[in-house]
Amino acid sequence: MKNRRLNEAKVLVVCLVVIFMFIIGIGKANAQQQQVFVECTSGDFPDEVTWQIVTCNGGVLLEGGAPFLGAVILPPYYQINMQDTYGDGWNGAYLYIDNAEYGFLSDVDWIDSLGTWPQDQTQQLVDVGCLTIGIEELESANFIPHTYYDLLGRKVTPSTGLYFATDGILTKKVYIDEIK
């Protein structure tokens, strides 16, 4: 009977230690994220403006148009994808994330040689730390990718540059400096 109670006490202590470690782990994971305010101003043509804040692997954290006011919990690294349906930039609209200001040709005041505004700028990607972390070597004995995606998640044929590559099981961020 005494040994049984001793064993039950040991199991209880181990369970409490595991629970405590789990709670500490969640606290540390949440400490790396922060809630911030997000605002997108109207600019001159708000119907043309859309944007997404995405994780480094492409998961959408928040998306919207202009005008917008809200909040999001951000990881330490993320990307911002800004679009303009007309293709001439955001025309005075800005995206504010916490204390940072992002504009997509928002304050450009130029005209091309034909005297018109260029209309070929439909999107812009802003990286906030993703490209500096976790670049994998492509030559891995166990990783032979067959599909590549650009940083906006579009399936592409790779050339030189940074891509997300998958072998059907794993997905890694890879840098290709030459095609063999």
Instruction: Convert 141-157 to b/e letters by CB count within 10 Å (16 or more is b).
Output: eebebeebbebeeeeee
CA 87 vs CA 101, 122, 154, 160: distances in Å: 20, 4, 19, 26
Cα separation, 20 vs 24, in Å, equals 6
Cα separation, 157 vs 168, in Å, equals 16
Cα separation, 9 vs 27, in Å, equals 27
- Per-residue pLDDT of 56-77, as tens digits, reads 878 899 999 999 999 999 998 8
Instruction: State the Cα angle at 121 between 116 and 122, rounded to 5°.
Output: 125
Q: What share of the chain is helix, strand, coil (3-state, %, to 5)?
A: 20, 40, 40
Tens place of pLDDT per residue across the chain (180 aa):
666 665 665 655 555 555 555 454 444 444 467 899 999 999 889 999 999 999 887 889 999 999 999 999 999 889 999 998 888 788 889 999 999 999 877 555 544 445 555 566 778 888 888 776 554 444 455 778 888 887 777 888 888 777 878 887 777 777 777 665
- Per-residue pLDDT of 148-163, as tens digits, reads 887 777 888 888 777 8
Return the closest-CA partner of residue 75 out of 93, 92, 57. Answer: 57
Instruction: State the Cα angle at 103 between 85 and 96, rounded to 5°.
Output: 110
